[in-house]
C-alpha cells in the first residue's frame, strides 16, 4: 500500500487495508454511477460511513435563499441535490453481533473499482469481537445499459465453521447526514427532505415512494432479491414509511457461503403519479431480474469495452499517471453516460458538493472529452441546456437583457447563485455553452441537432452579448461589469476571456444564421442583427498593456497592487476562505486560468509571442485555488514549450482527487479536473486544437514519457494518435479520410498511417509561479 492508500494499477483503483479515516474520501472515489443514478462507495453494512449518498440526476429539493440585504433580481430559491432512498444497505448480524468494521479486526480488506468491468468489488475478512471469522465479498454496479437499475452481489462465507447469520437488506429514506460546514463550497444540509407517499412489499420485493416538500418532485425506489436458501431459513419482508427491509435468518454450514443478489431500481418525475412511478420501478426490477446478475455484468463490460476503444489514453513511462487518467475518464463516463437531458453536475453523482449544481465546467471541460469520445452523451448534455432556454430567456429579461442568460449554477436551469458578483455576473457561461455547441456540431456534423437545437442556442446566446455590450466613442465593442473564470477578480470591464468567447459566439451565430436563413428568420433574426453581431465581434475590445507587453485580464488589471505572496502562509489557501473578496478583487492574484484559458480556447486570437508573454505574466500570479486551473495551465505550458511544467500540471490535475489536493474530495469528485486530464493529454501533449472546427495537432511529450496514445471521433471517423519522443503517428482506425495538421503542416489522413517528426521545442525563459504555488515537480 503506498502512502496515499491507493495501489497503482493500470485498469483499476484498489485500496488494501482498512482506514476508517479515509472512508469519507474513498466513498467519492469508489462511487458508481451511470449519470442517472449515483451511489457513493459506502460499505453495505451502512456504518461506519462518512456521508450517505444515493443521487438521482436532477432530483433536488428547493430552499429559500436568504440575504442579509436583498437586491432586485436575486434568485429567491436555491436547489440542493437530495440523498434519496438508500438501497445500498445490506446489514449482517453474526449471532447477535452486527458486522461493523469499527469493532473487531479485519486481517484482510480490499476494495477495487474496476474500470473495465464497471463494478466496485470488495473483499473483507473480518473477525468479530467475540472471535468469529467470516469473509464478505461484494460487487456492485450501476448499469450503463439499463439506466434505472443498480445491483449488488453480496456473499458471506464463514471461515471457522457453521455460522448463524441474519441478513437485513434495506431501502432507507431520510438518512441522517452530517451537519453543515462554513465552507461555501459545501452543500446546504437538508433535514429529512423526503415525504413518504407509498410503501409496499411482498416476497423479496419492496418499493418505497416519496416526494420532496418544496420542489415537489416524486421518486420511487425498489429492491428485489435473489437468494438460495435452505428450507429452514426464515425470511420476511416488511415496510414502514421510510424503510423497507428484507430479513433473512439462516445457518451457513462450514465450507459453504450465502449469496444474495440485490436488484435496485429508481425512478423520479415532476409529473408522473406515484402509481406510475411505482409501476416504472417494478418494471425495471422485473427486467433486471430477468436479465440476471451475470448478464448485467457482461453488458456492463461490453459497454466499457466500447468506451475504452475510443476513449482510452495510453501512457508509457508513468504508471501512476496512466492509472489516474483512466480513473478520470471512467468517472467522466460515469458522470455523463446516461444523463440524457439532465445536467452533468460539477461533482457528477459522487457527492453533495456545490449542492449538486452544474456550472460552466460541463461545457468547457467535460463536453470536449465526450464530444470526441462519446458524442451522443455530449449531445444529450447540450440538449439539457436547450431544455432550459425558456428559463434562461426569462432570466435575461429579468436582468434587462435580450437573448438567454444561462445560470451560473443550477440543477434544473433556474439560477441558484446567491452571490451575484461571482455568479450572475459570470456571463461567459453563455459563450461556453455556445462554444460547446459549435464544437459538437463541427465534430459530428449532426445537422439534426444543428437545426433543431444548436442554431437556437447560438442565436439566443449571441443576442445576450449584443445587449450586454456596447460601442464606446472610439468604436470598440465593450462588455463591462462582468466576471471571468478568475473569481478573484469580479465585476470587471472587458475580461479578455469573456470578450473572446463572446466574439466567437457572435461569429458562430452569424455564420449559422447565414447557413439556415429560413430557420434564422423563424427565430426573428434578420440581416441587420447578424451584421451587428459581426460588427461587435470585429471591434471587440481586448485590453492590452503596452508597457508590459501583455494582455490585461480585464481593463486596468495590470495596474492593480501585487498580492503579497511571500507574506501569505500556505495554509491560507484557498485564499477565498481566509481573505475577503474585496482584497482579492483589487489585487493581482488569479484564482484560476482566465487569460490563460483564453490562450487555449481562443489561441487563434494571439500570436505565439503574445502567448508566451501572457503565460509568463499570468503564471506568476495564478494560485490554482480552483481545480479547473491546472489542466488548462498544462495545455498552455505544452504549447509554449515548457513540457516539464505541462507534465507537473497534468499530474496535478489527474491526481486532484486521488491525492485529495483540494482537501474536499469527501464531498465529491472534481469531474472537470478529471476531464481536464484528457485535455492535458490531448490538447496539451497532443497539441490538439479545434478552432473553427479544424482539427490540428502539435504533439510533444516530456522526456519522462516514452509514448502517449489517444483516439478521437471526428465526423464519424476515428483517428488514433501515437506520440513518441521524436515522432507522432496518425492512424485512421475507421471512417473516411480527414484533413489534419501536424505542427502547422496540413495533411490528409486516409487508410495509410502517417508518421511525422516532432520539431524541437523553442527555448523559453524560466516560468515562475507565486511563492509556494509551483506544482510538485514530477519524474
Min separation Cβ 418 and a copy of itself, Å: 2
Tell me which residue has cell 495564478. Answer: 622
Min separation Cβ 185 and a copy of itself, Å: 9
Return the DSSP state at 565.
Answer: S
Does residue 744 interact with a copy of itself by CB under 8 A? no
| Options 98, 481, 641, 693; binder of a copy of itself; rule CB under 8 A | 481
- Per the structure block, which three cell numbers stand in for 235? 425470511
| Options 397, 447, 472, 694; binder of a copy of itself; rule CB under 8 A | 472
Pairing of strands 561-562, 194-202: unpaired
| Options 18, 260, 425, 501; binder of a copy of itself; rule CB under 8 A | 425
Does residue 68 interact with a copy of itself by CB under 8 A? yes
Q: How far is CA 207 from CA 217, 272, 287, in A?
A: 17, 16, 15
Does residue 196 interact with a copy of itself by CB under 8 A? no
Does residue 325 interact with a copy of itself by CB under 8 A? no
Binding mask 573-592 for a copy of itself (x = CB under 8 A): ---xxxxxxxx-xxx-----
Does residue 705 interact with a copy of itself by CB under 8 A? no
Does residue 569 interact with a copy of itself by CB under 8 A? no
Tell me which residue has cell 456492463. Answer: 300
Residue 602 near residue 434 (C-beta atoms within 8 A): no
Min separation Cβ 412 and a copy of itself, Å: 17
Write the DSSP assignment of 216-249 as a string of letters.
Answer: --EEEEEEEEEE---TT-EEEEEE-SSEEEEEEE
Question: Would you call 100 exposed, middle or buried from its count of C-beta atoms within 10 A (0-12, 13-18, 19+)?
Answer: middle
Min separation Cβ 69 and a copy of itself, Å: 4
First to last CA, the chain: 20
Number of residues that bind a copy of itself (CB under 8 A): 55
Does residue 516 interact with a copy of itself by CB under 8 A? no
Tell me the window of 60-68, 528-536, 661-669, 733-741 that interacts with a copy of itself (CB under 8 A): 60-68
Closest CA to 711 of 377, 442, 373: 373
Min separation Cβ 410 and a copy of itself, Å: 14
Min separation Cβ 491 and a copy of itself, Å: 5
Alpha carbon distance 594, 600 (integer Å): 10
Closest CA to 363 of 420, 428, 416, 308: 428
Tell me the window of 22-30, 303-311, 360-368, 419-427 that interacts with a copy of itself (CB under 8 A): 419-427
Min separation Cβ 479 and a copy of itself, Å: 9
Task: Write out the binding residues for a copy of itself, residues 524-563 only, by CB under 8 A.
Answer: 547, 555-556, 559-562
Kindly tell me which of 257 and 467 has the beta carbon lying closer to a copy of itself.
467
Does residue 663 interact with a copy of itself by CB under 8 A? no
Count of CB atoms within 10 A of residue 744's CB? 9
For residue 487, indicate whether it is catalytic.
Answer: yes
Give the bridge partners for 528, in sequence order.
none
Residue 587 near residue 561 (C-beta atoms within 8 A): yes
Q: Secondary structure of 332-379 in the HEC alphabet?
A: HHHHHCCCCCCCCCCCCCCCCHHHHCECCHHHHHHHHHHHHHCHHHHH
Pairing of strands 194-202, 470-471: unpaired
| Options 384, 420, 497, 685; binder of a copy of itself; rule CB under 8 A | 420
Residue 613 near residue 735 (C-beta atoms within 8 A): no
Does residue 189 interact with a copy of itself by CB under 8 A? no
Kindly tell me which of 73 and 230 has the beta carbon lying closer to a copy of itself.
73
Min separation Cβ 482 and a copy of itself, Å: 8
| Options 129, 275, 400, 772; binder of a copy of itself; rule CB under 8 A | 400
Residue 166 near residue 258 (C-beta atoms within 8 A): no
Alpha carbon distance 418, 69 (integer Å): 11
Kindly tell me which of 64 and 448 has the beta carbon lying closer to a copy of itself.
64
Task: Write out the binding residues for a copy of itself, residues 124-183 only, by CB under 8 A.
Answer: 182
Count of CB atoms within 10 A of residue 520's CB? 23
Dihedral class, residue 174 (left if φ above 0, else alpha if ψ from -120 to 50, else beta): left
Kindly tell me which of 64 and 518 has the beta carbon lying closer to a copy of itself.
64
Min separation Cβ 48 and a copy of itself, Å: 30
| Options 269, 398, 451, 731; binder of a copy of itself; rule CB under 8 A | 398
Residue 42 near residue 68 (C-beta atoms within 8 A): no
Tell me the window of 34-42, 415-423, 597-605, 617-625 that interacts with a copy of itself (CB under 8 A): 415-423
Min separation Cβ 425 and a copy of itself, Å: 5
Closest CA to 619 of 495, 766, 777: 766
Q: Which of 45, 363, 487, 722 is catalytic?
A: 487
Alpha carbon distance 415, 395 (integer Å): 8
Does residue 681 interact with a copy of itself by CB under 8 A? no
Does residue 607 interact with a copy of itself by CB under 8 A? no
Binding mask 245-284 for a copy of itself (x = CB under 8 A): ----------------------------------------
CA angle at residue 335 from 329 to 336, to 5 degrees?
Answer: 90
Return the DSSP state at 557.
Answer: G
Q: Using CB under 8 A as the criterion, which residues of the chain lie in contact with a copy of itself when the complex forms? A: 65-75, 78, 182, 184, 398-401, 417-425, 470, 472-473, 478, 480-482, 490-491, 493, 547, 555-556, 559-562, 576-583, 585-587
Residues with catalytic function = 487
Amino acid at each position: 500500500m503506498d502512502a496515499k492508500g491507493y495501489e497503482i494499477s493500470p485498469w483499476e483503483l484498489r485500496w488494501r487495508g482498512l482506514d476508517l479515516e479515509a472512508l469519507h474520501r474513498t466513498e467519492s472515489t469508489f462511487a458508481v454511477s451511470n449519470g442517472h443514478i449515483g451511489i457513493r462507495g459506502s460499505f453495505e453494512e451502512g456504518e461506519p460511513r462518512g456521508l450517505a449518498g444515493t443521487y438521482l440526476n436532477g432530483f433536488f429539493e428547493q430552499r429559500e435563499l436568504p440575504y442579509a440585504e436583498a437586491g432586485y433580481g436575486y434568485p429567491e430559491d436555491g436547489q440542493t441535490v437530495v440523498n434519496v432512498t438508500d438501497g445500498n444497505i445490506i446489514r449482517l448480524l453474526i449471532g447477535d453481533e452486527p458486522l461493523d468494521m469499527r469493532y473487531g479486526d479485519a486481517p484482510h480488506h480490499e476494495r477495487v473499482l474496476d474500470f473495465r468491468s464497471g463494478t466496485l468489488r470488495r473483499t473483507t475478512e473480518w473477525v468479530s469481537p467475540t472471535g468469529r471469522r467470516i469473509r464478505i465479498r461484494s460487487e456492485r454496479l450501476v448499469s450503463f445499459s439499463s439506466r434505472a437499475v443498480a445491483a449488488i452481489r453480496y456473499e458471506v462465507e464463514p471461515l471457522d465453521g457453521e455460522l448463524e447469520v441474519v441478513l437485513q437488506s434495506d431501502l432507507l429514506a431520510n438518512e441522517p447526514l452530517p451537519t453543515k460546514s462554513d465552507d461555501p463550497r459545501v452543500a446546504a444540509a437538508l433535514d429529512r427532505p423526503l415525504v413518504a407517499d407509498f410503501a409496499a412489499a411482498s416476497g423479496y420485493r419492496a418499493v418505497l415512494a416519496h416526494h420532496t416538500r418544496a420542489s415537489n418532485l416524486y421518486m420511487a425506489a425498489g429492491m428485489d432479491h435473489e437468494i438460495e436458501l435452505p428450507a429452514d431459513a426464515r425470511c420476511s419482508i416488511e415496510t414502514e414509511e421510510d424503510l423497507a427491509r428484507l430479513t433473512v435468518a439462516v445457518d451457513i454450514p462450514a465450507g459453504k457461503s450465502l449469496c444474495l443478489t440485490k436488484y435496485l431500481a429508481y425512478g423520479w418525475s415532476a409529473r408522473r403519479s406515484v402509481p406510475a412511478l411505482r409501476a416504472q420501478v417494478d418494471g425495471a426490477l422485473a427486467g433486471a431480474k430477468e436479465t440476471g446478475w451475470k448478464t448485467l455484468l457482461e453488458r456492463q463490460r461490453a459497454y466499457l469495452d466500447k468506451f475504452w476503444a475510443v476513449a482510452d489514453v495510453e501512457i508509457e513511462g508513468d504508471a501512476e499517471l496512466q492509472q489516474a487518467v483512466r480513473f478520470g475518464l471512467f468517472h467522466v463516463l460515469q458522470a455523463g453516460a446516461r444523463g440524457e437531458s439532465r445536467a452533468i453536475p460539477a461533482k457528477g453523482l459522487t457527492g453533495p458538493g456545490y449542492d449538486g449544481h452544474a456550472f460552466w465546467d460541463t461545457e468547457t471541460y467535460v463536453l470536449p472529452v465526450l464530444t470526441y469520445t462519446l458524442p451522443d452523451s455530449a449531445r444529450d448534455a447540450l440538449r439539457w441546456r436547450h431544455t432550459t432556454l425558456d428559463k434562461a430567456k426569462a432570466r435575461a429579461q429579468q436582468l434587462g437583457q435580450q437573448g438567454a442568460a444561462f445560470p451560473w449554477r443550477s440543477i434544473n436551469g433556474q439560477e441558484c447563485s446567491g452571490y451575484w458578483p461571482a455568479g450572475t455576473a459570470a456571463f461567459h457561461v453563455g459563450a461556453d455553452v455556445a462554444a460547446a455547441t459549435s464544437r459538437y456540431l463541427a465534430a459530428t456534423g449532426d445537422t439534426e441537432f444543428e437545426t433543431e437545437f444548436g442554431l437556437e442556442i447560438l442565436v439566443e446566446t449571441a443576442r445576450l452579448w449584443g445587449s450586454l455590450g456596447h460601442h464606446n466613442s472610439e468604436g470598440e465593442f465593450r462588455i463591462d461589469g462582468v466576471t471571468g473564470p478568475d473569481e478573484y477578480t469580479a465585476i470587471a470591464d472587458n475580461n479578455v476571456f469573456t470578450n473572446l468567447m463572446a466574439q466567437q459566439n457572435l461569429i458562430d451565430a452569424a455564420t449559422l444564421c447565414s447557413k439556415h436563413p429560413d430557420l434564422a428568420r423563424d427565430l426573428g433574426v434578420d440581416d441587420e442583427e447578424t451584421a451587428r453581431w459581426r460588427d461587435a465581434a470585429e471591434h471587440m475590445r481586448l485590453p492590452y498593456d503596452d508597457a508590459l507587453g501583455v494582455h490585461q485580464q480585464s481593463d486596468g488589471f495590470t495596474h492593480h497592487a501585487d498580492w503579497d505572496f511571500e507574506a501569505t502562509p500556505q495554509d491560507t489557501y484557498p485564499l477565498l476562505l481566509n481573505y475577503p473578496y474585496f482584497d482579492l478583487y483589487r489585487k493581482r492574484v488569479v484564482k484560476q486560468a482566465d487569460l490563460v484559458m483564453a490562450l487555449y480556447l481562443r489561441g487563434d486570437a494571439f500570436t505565439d509571442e503574445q502567448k508566451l508573454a501572457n503565460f509568463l505574466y499570468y503564471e506568476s500570479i495564478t494560485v490554482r485555488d480552483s481545480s479547473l486551473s491546472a489542466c488548462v495551465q498544462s495545455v498552455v505550458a505544452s504549447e509554449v514549450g515548457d513540457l516539464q511544467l505541462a507534465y507537473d500540471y497534468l499530474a496535478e490535475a489527474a491526481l486532484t482527487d486521488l491525492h485529495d489536493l483540494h482537501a474536499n474530495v469527501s464531498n465529491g469528485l472534481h469531474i472537470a479536473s478529471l476531464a481536464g486530464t484528457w485535455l492535458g493529454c490531448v490538447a496539451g501533449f497532443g497539441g490538439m486544437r479545434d478552432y473553427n472546427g479544424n482539427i490540428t495537432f502539435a504533439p510533444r511529450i516530456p522526456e519522462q514519457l516514452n509514448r502517449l496514445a489517444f483516439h478521437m471521433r471526428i465526423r464519424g471517423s476515428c483517428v488514433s494518435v501515437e506520440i513518441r519522443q521524436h515522432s507522432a503517428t496518425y492512424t485512421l482506425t475507421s471512417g473516411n479520410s480527414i484533413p489534419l495538421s501536424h505542427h502547422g503542416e496540413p495533411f490528409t489522413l486516409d487508410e495509410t498511417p502517417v508518421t511525422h517528426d516532432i520539431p524541437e521545442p523553442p527555448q523559453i525563459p524560466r516560468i515562475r509561479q507565486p511563492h509556494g504555488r509551483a506544482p510538485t515537480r514530477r519524474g
